[in-house]
Chains A and B, each alone.
Chain A
Amino acid sequence: MLAIRNLSVAFPGPEGPVRVVDDVSVEVGRGESLGIVGESGSGKSMLSLATIGLLPKSARTSGGILLEGRNILTMGEKELCGLRGRRIGMIFQEPMTALNPAMTAGQQIAEGIRLHHGTGRAEARAEALRLLDRVRIPDPARRIDSYPHEMSGGQRQRVGIAIALALKPDLLIADEPTTALDVTVQKEILDILDELVADLGLSLILISHDLGVIARSTDRTLVMCRGRAVEDGPTEAVLRNPTAQYTRDLIAALPRRARAGLGEPGLGEEARLAAGGTP
C-alpha cells in the first residue's frame, strides 16, 4: 500500500548538500507493520517526515513515495492536507509537546473529525469518547474533559493515538512513540498498537532505536545507518540471522538480557544451569 522507491533527502550544508536519507527503498503492505531501526542520525525520522510530506522546506528530495500509486513527493500542500490524518495518521515521541495544552483531550480528538467530516459537535464528541475507549483510557467519560497537563505520559500518548485514529487512516506512523515512557507504560502502548494492526487491519510504520520494541511489534524490519538502508526483511530473519555487519553490531551492543531470546544462553541461564536448575 505504501512503497518508498529510491528515496533520497538532502539538505544544503556549508560544504554542499548533505544527504540524510540516501537511496532507500521499502514497502509496507496492508495490515503489515514495518519497523525502522537505527541510531541517532540514521535518517529514520526524516524518512517518516517525508512520508507525511512534513519535511523542512529546504529539503531536496529525489525518488518517490507512492501511496497506492500516487507520489506524495509531488503533491501540493492542499492534497497533502487531505492525506494527513485521513490516509496517514502520525504518533509523536513526546505527547506533551504534540498536544495543545489549552484544549481538552476530547476537543483535540473531535477537532479533526468536525473539520474533515463536518459532523456536529455532539456526534464528534461521541466519536471521541469511542476512540478514547478504543485506546483503553481508564474512565474515558471523565478523561474526555481533561487537559494534557492533568494526564500521565501514558494517558497523553493514548490521546495522541486516538487523535491519529480519528480520521480512520489506513497507515499509522509512530516515531519513537514509547521512548519517553516507562517500560510498563511502554508495554501497554505497544499492546494497543498491536491490537489496532490486528483488529482494524491498519498498516504501521514503527520507528525506534530499541530492537526489543521492533522485535515485539513488527513483521518486517528496515535497518538504517547514516541515511542508508543496510538491511531489510522479515523481523525475525533480520534479527536472528543478520546479514549486515552493522545489524550484528547493533545486536551485540544490546544488554545481555535483551539479547537473551537469540538462543545463546545469557549469563542468567548459565548460572541457573550451573546451579543445577532447569533452563
Chain B
Amino acid sequence: MTALALRLRRGWRPGSAALLVGGVLTACLVGIALTSLVWTPEDPTRMRILQKLRGPLVSGWLGTDHLGRDVASMLMRGAFNSLTTAFAAVGLGAVLGTLAGVAAAAGPTFDAMLMRICDALFALPPILSAIMLGALLGPGALTAIVAIGVFMIPVFARVTRGAAMQIWAREYIMAARMAGKGTARITLEHVLPNIAGQVIVQVTIQLAMAILTEAGLSFLGLGLPPPAPTWGRMLAESQTYLTQAPHLALAPGLAIAAAVLGLNLLGDGLAARLDPRRRQAS
C-alpha cells in the first residue's frame, strides 16, 4: 500500500463522502448568496419587457422571466434572501429550543410544563401559522422568520432535552455536584459542551427544512414582498409559463433541491463524524 493510500484510508472516516459533498454544496450556496450582495450579472429587479421569456444563454446565463428580469441574477439574490430567512428562523428556533431543552432536562419542574408547550407548538404547522401571522403582521420577512422559527423550537427542545438527559445521567455530573456546583453551572460547563455536536447537526438539517418552508411561504405570497426575488416566488410566477419557458421553474427548483441536499448531506456527515459510538469504533 502506498503512503498516499494509507493516508487516505486513515482520513476516510464514517460520513466523509457526505461531509465532502454536503460541505462543497453548502459552501457554494453561501458563496453565491454573499456574492449577490456586491455583484450580480444584472440588477435582479430591472425589467426589460422587450426581452421577456428568453431562453438560457440567449439572454443572460439562465434567460429571462415574463417581465424580462435576468433569472441568474434573481436566483443569486434569491439565495441570499432564502438563506437569511432560514438562518434567522433556525437561529431563533435553535436558541430558544436549546434553552428549553436543557432547562427541561435539568429538572422535572420545568420538564412537564415545557414539554406540554412544545406539544402545543408542534401542533401548529408552519404554513398555517404563517398564514395566521400574515393576517396579523402582514406578509414579510419577519412573518416567515417567526412562523418557521416558532415551529423549530419544539424540534430543538426535544433533541437537546434527550441529549442533555443522557449527559445528566453520567457520573461526572455527580462528581460536579459533589464539587458543589449548581444546576445552571453544571449545564454550562458539562451539559452544553457535550451536546453541542448534536445541536450543530440538527441546525444543518433544520436549515434545509427552513429553506424548503421559506420557499413554500413565498410561493403562497407570505414571504418577502416583491420586488425582492425569492426562490419560492420565482417558482410561483413560473407556473403560468410552464410550457413556454420551463427553465423558469427548473432554475429555482434545482436551486432549492441542491441547497436542501447539500445541507442534509452536511448534517448526515457531521452526525456520523460526531456520533460518539462511531468515533469510538474508529
Contacts and interface: CB of A to CB of B under 8 A. Distances in A.
Contacts of B10: 14
A14 B7 CA distance: 8
Contacts of A12: 9
A14 B9 CA distance: 8
Contacts of B9: 12, 14
A56 to B, nearest CB: 10
Interface string A1-34: 0000000000010100000000000000000000
4 contacts: A12-B9, A14-B6, A14-B9, A14-B10
B6 to A, nearest CB: 8
Contacts of A14: 6, 9-10
Interface of B: 6, 9-10
B14 to A, nearest CB: 13
Nearest to A14: B10
B100 to A, nearest CB: 31
A14 B10 CA distance: 6
A12 B1 CA distance: 12
Contacts of B6: 14
B1 to A, nearest CB: 9
Closest 4 pairs (CB-CB, A-B): A14-B10, A12-B9, A14-B9, A14-B6
Nearest to B6: A14
A59 to B, nearest CB: 14
A12 B9 CA distance: 10
Nearest to A56: B281
B216 to A, nearest CB: 38
A212 to B, nearest CB: 28
Nearest to B282: A14
Nearest to A13: B10
A34 to B, nearest CB: 30
A30 B10 CA distance: 45
A185 to B, nearest CB: 25
A238 to B, nearest CB: 34
A257 B10 CA distance: 47
B63 to A, nearest CB: 51
Nearest to B7: A14
B279 to A, nearest CB: 14
B116 to A, nearest CB: 28
A216 to B, nearest CB: 32
B16 to A, nearest CB: 15
A14 to B, nearest CB: 5
A219 B6 CA distance: 46
A12 B6 CA distance: 11
A12 B10 CA distance: 10
Nearest to B1: A16
B142 to A, nearest CB: 48
B280 to A, nearest CB: 14
A49 to B, nearest CB: 16
Interface string A200-223: 000000000000000000000000
A230 B139 CA distance: 77
B36 to A, nearest CB: 43
Nearest to B11: A14
A14 B11 CA distance: 9
A78 to B, nearest CB: 28
A198 B173 CA distance: 49
A105 B56 CA distance: 67
A14 B6 CA distance: 7
